[in-house]
């Protein structure tokens, strides 16, 4: 993301982002001195008409599985956004961080694939589908950006070691990656179902699910009003439970607890939800 912010700076200075949206994108582009616009999100993802009212030349989106609301941008909106960004000679940053993990939706073509031009950067990562600790991600960039990269960064070495890169390449070449993806899709679907069932069993009618069905988390909100989110976090911490609040990591007014299941084994999920339920019920 840093490299992208640096390269895009040669052409652009005005950045827009979905809000709520991925806090890291905001931090990085802010640190490179971009003007930043916050664009709202609805059930179809980024609100394109809002974007058009700004002077933004770059827009960062998570169209397949909006972070954190889970919205998917339909193909008509993808085409509309591409048309608009092309008309201003702007740049779309398509962060497709977890589409390999989708286990319910049918895939929609990426904006990068639909564009066939110079206006989209596609970002992928192995953080979700494989492991966050190997720190491997990739970008598919337009030719003008590749040229710029080669000219300006001929002394820039990737931070991912060659050993890791070659191991991953061999892993793919030998077919393990495809098998791995198929296996984790099935497993994640089971984990998702297990978490949903455990939530129903231990939290009863005290919650509503606001995002589910893809990725590695279920987001919930309480049914009762005037909920003290900070207190929930403190009580959880006292019980040695780490709680992720959507608002802290994505700005805006979207409030929810993000309950991740990716790091748990299937049989651990109910135990974890039960411990969380004790805290939740004490609110
Ligand atoms: C929206 C989004 N994009 C990208 C990433 C992956 O980032 P990285 O590859 O730096 O771990 C994440 C990880 O949580 C994410 O939530």
Give burial (CB, 10 Å; 0-12/13-18/19+) of 157.
Answer: exposed
Q: Is the pLDDT of residue 105 over 70?
A: no
End-to-end CA distance of the chain: 39
| Spatial separation of the C-alpha atoms in residues 278 and 200, rounded to whole Å | 14
Name the band, by pLDDT with cuts 50, 70 and 90, for residue 75.
very high
Ligand 1 site residues (CB inside 6 A) read 22, 62, 67, 95, 97, 125, 127, 132, 137
Concatenated DSSP letters of 66-87: -TTT-----HHHHHHHHHHHHH
Average pLDDT, the chain: 94
| Spatial separation of the C-alpha atoms in residues 35 and 12, rounded to whole Å | 10
Q: What is the 231 CA–ligand 1 centroid distance (Å)?
A: 27
- Lowest-confidence pick of 29-43, 75-89, 140-154, 255-269: 140-154
Q: What is the 67 CA–ligand 1 centroid distance (Å)?
A: 10
Q: What is the CATH number of domain 2-173?
A: 3.40.640.10
Provide the pLDDT for residue 275: 97
Write the Ramachandran bin of 135: left for phi over 0, alpha for psi from -120 to 50, otherwise beta.
left
Residue nearest atom 9 of ligand 1, based on CA coordinates: 125
Q: What is the 1 CA–ligand 1 centroid distance (Å)?
A: 10
Q: Is the pLDDT of residue 140 over 70?
A: yes
Q: Is the pLDDT of residue 33 over 90?
A: yes
User: Average pLDDT for residues 176-181, to the nearest whole number?
Assistant: 96
Tell me: domain 189-281, CATH 3.40.50.150, correct?
Answer: no
Residue-range domain boundaries for the chain: 2-173, 189-281
- Given the DSSP bridges, would you call strands 45-46 and 257-260 parallel, antiparallel or unpaired? unpaired
Provide the pLDDT for residue 153: 80
Tell me the pLDDT tens digit for each residue of 273-282. Answer: 999 999 999 9
Residue nearest atom 11 of ligand 1, based on CA coordinates: 127
């Amino acid at each position: 993301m840093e490299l992208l912010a640096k390269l895009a700076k040669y052409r652009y200075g005005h950045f827009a982002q979905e809000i709520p949206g991925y806090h890291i994108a905001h931090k990085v582009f802010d640190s490179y001195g971009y003007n930043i616009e916050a664009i709202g999100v609805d059930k179809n993802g980024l609100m394109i008409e809002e974007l058009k009212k700004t002077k933004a030349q770059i827009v960062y989106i998570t169209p397949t599985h909006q972070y954190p609301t889970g919205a998917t941008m339909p193909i008509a909106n993808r085409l509309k956004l591409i048309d608009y960004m092309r008309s201003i000679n702007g740049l779309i940053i398509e962060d497709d961080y977890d589409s390999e993990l989708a286990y319910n939706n049918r895939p929609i073509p990426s904006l990068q694939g639909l564009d066939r031009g110079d206006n989209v950067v596609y970002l992928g990562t192995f953080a979700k589908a494989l492991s966050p600790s190997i720190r491997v991600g990739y970008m598919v960039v337009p030719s003008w950006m590749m040229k710029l990269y080669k000219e300006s960064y001929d002394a820039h070495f990737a931070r991912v070691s060659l050993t890791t890169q070659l191991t991953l390449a061999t892993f793919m070449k030998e077919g393990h990656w495809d098998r791995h993806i198929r296996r984790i899709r099935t497993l994640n679907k089971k984990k998702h179902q297990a978490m949903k069932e455990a939530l129903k069993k231990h939290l009863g009618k005290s919650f509503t699910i606001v995002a589910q069905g893809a990725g590695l988390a279920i987001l919930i909100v309480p049914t009762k009003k005037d909920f003290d989110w900070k207190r929930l976090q403190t009580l959880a911490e006292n019980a040695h439970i780490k709680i992720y609040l959507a608002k802290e990591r994505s700005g805006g007014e979207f409030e929810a607890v993000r309950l991740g299941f990716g790091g748990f084994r299937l049989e651990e999920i109910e135990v974890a939800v039960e411990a969380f339920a004790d805290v939740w019920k004490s609110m």
